[in-house]
Every structure is written in C-alpha cells, then in structure tokens.
Amino acid sequence: MYSNLLVPLDGSALAECVISHVLALASSSKNVSITFLYVVQPLDAPLVKTIYKKKIETESRAAAQSYLKKICSRAVFKDNSSGKVLSGKPADIIVEYAAANNMDLIVMATHGRSGPGKWFYGSVAEKVVHSSKVPIWLVKAASCQMSYGHRKLTVLAPLDGSKVAESVLPHVKELHKQLPHNKLDIVLMRVCEVFSPPITYPPPMAMSWDEYLDFEKARCKEICRNYLLEVQKRLSKYGLKTRIEIPEGNPAEKLIGYANKSSVDLVVMSTHGRTGISKWAFGSIAEKVLKGANCPILLIRAK
C-alpha cells in the first residue's frame, strides 16, 4: 500500500490539480499519511542586501506555512495530513525528503507556477523524475478535473518482455487494493515492433520481401500474445482481471495514441525496459509517453 504520500505544492492552482488523485489514494484507509511539501527557493538577487533577503525569505516561509495550513484543514485531509516548509532547490529537496522519510509515492503536477508552457522539460518535475528512486505519480493539466467516484478506471500497463518493465506489476496489484471503489480495467500492452530490415534476413526459405515481412509480423504477434497471456495468468491469481492489446508499430506512438484515444485514466510504466538502465527515462519510450499522453502517469524506476 502507498501509506506515505508526498505531495509537493507551490501555491498555484496548476500544482493543486493533484488533489483529486491524492484524495482517491488516501480515502481507502485511515493509515494513509499525506505530507504536503512547499519548498521556498532562496532569493537569487546579488544586489539585494542580506538583511532584506532574510526578511523576504522569512515572509515567504510564513506565507507558505499559512497556505499549507489551509490545505491541511480541509475536511477531507484534516485527520491524516501535515504540511512541511523547507528551503532550497525544489527538485533536490523533494527527492531528498522522499528518500529520508521513507515515502511510498510522490504525487506531483508536471507544472506549477511556470505554467503549462514549460510542461516537463527544464521543470522541477523533470529533475525529480531524473533523480527519485521513489515512484512518482505525475499529473498534467488535462487530468486536473479527473473524478474518481465509484466508476471503473482504465489502467494501461506497457510491457516489453523484460523483467525491468515487469517491475510495474506489483504496483498494479497495489492500485487494485488501494482503489477499492474503482473496479480497474487493466490493459496489458506489448507493442509488436518489426524492425526493418530484420536481423535474420535473408530468410532460410525462398520468399519475397513482402512475404517475409508478413512472416515476421505474425511471429512477433505470436511472441507478444504468448507473453501477455502468461502475465495475465499470473495476475489472475491475485484476483486481477486484465485484457491484452498488441498493436503494431512504434512503441511510444502506439502507447500515446492508445492512452489518448481510449480514455485511459492512468499509465503505469517503468522508466526503462529493453533499452537498459543507461538510457533510463530520457531519450527513451518513457520520455515520449510523458510528453505525449494526457492522462496521469505512475512512473516506477526499476531497481
């Protein structure tokens, strides 16, 4: 269970778009604890005297504490939340606080005071994703008005056949437990990507290029289907009902297209799979999905 939630805020309505998601995760148990974190950045103004800098920073901290007090006093958070104001570089503080305080999950917006224009790149969210070992639930502006209620939620879990990508499966099981009011429609997806030209070309038997390409596609689909059926069987032992999707094409494009066109409520994915740890999120499929998908994304950095 995600018992300890860290929710970074900056006082903006954009950053507060995570509230409905936090509420859904916290409403299932009284044991869920929420920490709202506000990071006050040091004043970078060389021409301002130190005494005035300290005064401004003190006032900023007081305003931040007052803001978090109002957030925590809301009826839905009154009994299980607390506010924390710290000073420093936001991304560094978020990552350090999450690690030091054994947080189970960071729930944050992909934009805040800087607005949606900056979205992910060069933002606090980008830096947190780069550095955090704690899972991160990222929310974009398009997901701000999401209502959970008692409706069914569609959860997309992209897999590529690797154990690294499968690190998302325990989190899918936890979501099944932590969102008891929402029957999860879990979609296991593996994209059939036929490389051109295939490494094994020419084929062992005489056939045209088109015939061989069809052969490779059929073989790829079979491999993907057998793999997903095996994962589906494993998850069924825990009471999880799943369905499988095997689109053909570019993995990132197919994931983004499916997520946006099929009204997916959440994508649960690893930050690296077959590409290996060295590529991690950036320059990989995860990076492109983070940029292109409109729904929230639960990002797990595989160990």
Encode pLDDT of 151-160 as tens digits.
899 999 999 9
Residue among 233, 3, 24 at smallest CA distance from 101: 3
- Helices 251-261 and 285-292: crossing angle in degrees, nearest 10, is 30
Cα dist. 181→24, 27, 106, 131, 184 in Å?
9, 10, 22, 33, 9
99 confidence band (pLDDT: 50, 70, 90): very high
Q: Which stretches does DSSP call E strand in the chain?
A: 4-9, 33-40, 81-87, 105-109, 136-139, 153-158, 184-189, 242-245, 266-270, 297-300
Domain parsing of the chain, residue ranges: 1-147, 149-303
Give the CB-side neighbour count of residue 149, counting CA atoms within 13 A: 6
Q: In CATH, what is the architecture of 149-303?
A: 3-Layer(aba) Sandwich (3.40)
Lookup: tokens for 148: 């959970």
Same fold, 1-147 and 149-303: yes
The tens digit of pLDDT for each residue in 219-268 reads 899 999 999 999 999 999 999 999 999 999 999 999 999 999 998 999 99
Q: How does pLDDT run across 192-205, given as a tens digit for each residue?
A: 987 655 555 555 66
Residue 46 is predicted with a pLDDT of: 63
Phi, psi of 283 (to 5 degrees): 85, 5
pLDDT at position 295 over 60: yes
Fold for the domain defined by 1-147? Rossmann fold (3.40.50)
- Looking at residue 9, its pLDDT comes to 94
In angstroms, the CA 35 to CA 39 distance is 13
pLDDT at site 47: 59
Q: In what order do the strands lie in the sheet with 184-189?
A: 81-87, 33-40, 4-9, 105-109, 136-139, 297-300, 266-270, 153-158, 184-189, 242-245
Distance CA 82, CA 62 (A): 15
